[in-house]
Structure 1
Amino acid sequence: MFDLHRLRLLRELKHRGTLAAVAAALSYSPSSVSQQLSQLESEVGVPLLEPVGRRVRLTEQGEILVAHTEAVLERLEQAEAEIAASLVDLTGTLRVASFQTAALSLVPAALSLLRDTHPMLRVHVTQTEPENALPALLARDFDLVVAEEYPGNPDPRPPGVEREDLCEDPLRLAPPYTGAAAGPTTLRGLADRPWVLEPEGTAARHWAMTLCRDAGFEPDIRFESTDLLLHLRLVEHGHAAALLPDLVWHGRTPTVPLHSLPRGRRSRRVFTAVRRGRSQHPAIRAFRAALRRSADAVRP
């Protein structure tokens, strides 16, 4: 019988990439992690790791063992969900990651609902972008992630993740605000204006660049930030054009003129993601239900 703790260390190494990252995440020393994995190799009887430069990677046998470890951990999470469902009230901590606009517009109301219905449940919220949050979900840093998917740019769905759609969030064109009633109202009309976009490597940036290029121009990107409130401020002061989602208003009246985008490009999909086997946990179900009520209440 293989030691489950050591199996989890091997799984962590696959997801985090280095012994140092595993050690930092689990509050061990790198030498302790290395020693535990060496003992696991002795238990299994074959090499599980091989050196690649200064790093290590899993051997074919290591990958096989991690696949079975994932199945075992999934069953354990199902057991945890069933035990939690048998209790009268929800307790413990639910670790949630959310991107900025959902964290500002949807999460606070959901927390208020949970505080009233499940006062003993502790919810820990971290604001982080889906590009980082979804891998961290698989690494068990979070229990639930609120993420986004842009039109025409679906991200690959990692195995081991269960997804549930939450709402559609319309996206609109916001020209630099000058106070004048007239002005460009199309993407092409803003080809010579400064733009603010999210940084390279984000799904939002890839979507925005594709949108502009399909309209026949390369945007003059003067500002880059994941903070959409900064995008809004730059638009309000006339410094840049932006692409703003309706959630940025939190259901309030927009402060700048907004214009429709081309058909098929007009909304992003907001969804929640959990690890496979975790979706029936009462805390997950309660938080998802609270988010749905919050989303229903937020309308631009």
Structure 2
Amino acid sequence: MELSLHRLRLLRELRRRGTVTAAAAALHYTASAVSQQLAQLERDVGAKLIERLGRRVQLTELGMLLTDHAEEILKSVERATMALKEAQEGVTARLTAGVWASVASGLLPFALSALAAEHPGIEVRTRELAPEDTAAAVRDGSLDFSFVIEYSDYPMPWDPALTKVVIAVERMHAAVPEGWVPAGSVRMIELAEHPWVLAGPRSHFGRAVRLACQRHGFEPRIEHEVGEQATALAMVGAGLGVTLVSDLGLSLRPAGVDIVALTEPVMRTVSIAHRTSSANRPSLQLVIEAVRAAAAEQGLGAAAPLP
């Protein structure tokens, strides 16, 4: 019996996702292609691995057994691949990172410039994703590492297959149209009287800000729901409402926007997530050090805890 690593990876993703469609989407295949490959795996094994339950599927006992072994096999292959790369390349490597707008504009350019000066053999490519999607892309192998966020009002569950390294701690600020808040600071409850420009409740940011408002006794009156921070700030500059913005997001601030301190702190951490099996990869560690140094130079060092 010969087991295909590719098919084992599909079987593992099927157990994680629960449906062929979700597994296919996560690995960027069609559902038909995944079904065909899983059917071939059953023929390779000579046993039924999957049972259909309506629109979902369930692994048989043999399917669960094989998936448990697939986890160990795939981890071993990844470790062997990394070891070979390190032996052959030293600190010459190409890494793909998941980013979002404020990290890409406010932090990464400084870090990558310093990295290129000291370690020109390390190439970092970036892919912009929604913050909610970056960790999953690392786990699935689409990215080598990604930036992830966690808010003081909205702690996130964590995947044990991933390691999280905190690289920056940011303070959130009120972003208001010019002249709306004449004081140098404002209480969250004082923002209740204004219309809001905010991301949807399914996003980490949108959910965290809603929870922060609720903690201070009000539901924000959201008149404009937008996903991009730069878009939200442009709408604030046009006098359409208020929002919150992080330290790194200040680099996206347009004309016509006042930044006002919040008297009650709302904080968030920015971390780098990578597969635990990649923890000893020298190039990855050098990237992490460069990003942490860039954050520290901007006063966003990781020493400060979330309140």
Q: Scaled by the length of structure 1, what TM-score is found?
A: 0.86
- The aligned counterpart of 1:271 is 271
Q: Contact between 2:75 and 2:277, CA under 8 Å: does it hold in 1? A: yes
Tell which deviates more after alignment, 1-10 or 95-104. 1-10
In structure 1, what is the equivalent of residue 305 of structure 2?
Answer: none
Query: What is the CA deviation profile of residues 16-68 of structure 1, one whole-angstrom value per residue up to 9, with x for unaligned ones?
Result: 55545656776766555433322322344442212233453433442332232
Distance 1:281 1:67, change over 3 A: same
Percent identity of equivalent pairs = 34
- Paired with 2:217 and 2:133, the residues of 1 have a C-alpha distance of 31
- Counting only pairs closer than 5 Å after superposition, residues 202-221 of structure 1 correspond to structure 2 as 202-221=203-222
- The answer (yes or no) to whether the contact 1:173–1:186 under 8 Å persists in 2 is no
| Distance change (3 Å), C-alpha of 1:110 and 1:227 | same
Aligned residues: 298
- Give, in whole Å, the separation in 2 of the partners of 1:250 and 1:179: 21
The one-letter amino acid of 2:70's match is T
Aligned-pair Cα RMSD in Å: 3.0
Structure 1 stretches lacking a partner, 5+ long:
none
**Cα 1:76/1:239, change in 2 over 3 Å:** same
Cα distance, 1:195 vs structure 2: 0.5
Higher deviation after alignment, 118-127 or 14-23: 14-23
Q: Which amino acid aligns with 1:93?
A: R
Contact 2:200 2:207 in 1 (8 A): no
- 1:101-129: CA deviation from partner (whole Å, max 9, x where unpaired): 11211112222233333434432211112
Unaligned runs of 5+ in 2: 301-307
**Aligned in 2, Cα 1:156/1:146: closer, same or farther, shift over 3 Å?**
same
CA deviation after TM superposition for structure 1 residue 150, in Å:
0.4
Q: Which whole-Å deviations, capped at 9, do the CAs of 1:247-295 have from their partners, x for residues lacking one?
A: 112499x962312242xx4310110111121121122112212211221
Name which of structure 1's ranges 85-94 and 166-175 shifts more when overlaid on structure 2. Answer: 85-94
1:257 aligned partner: 259
Change (3 A) 1:8 1:154: same
Structure 2 counterpart SS, 1:277: helix
Counterpart amino acid of 1:271?
A: S
1: distance between equivalents of 2:262 and 2:55? 51
- TM-score, normalised via structure 2 length: 0.84
Distance across 2 between alignment mates of 1:64 and 1:102: 41
Superposed, 1:237-248 pairs within 5 Å as 237-248=238-249
Deviation at 1:239, TM superposition (A): 2.2
User: How far 1:184 sits from its partner (Å)?
Assistant: 8.1
1:96 corresponding residue in structure 2: 97
Q: How does 1:186-201 map to 2 (within 5 A)?
A: 186-201=187-202
- Could you say which residue in structure 2 is the equivalent of 1:65? 66
For residues 129 and 216 of structure 1, what CA distance do their matches in structure 2 show? 29
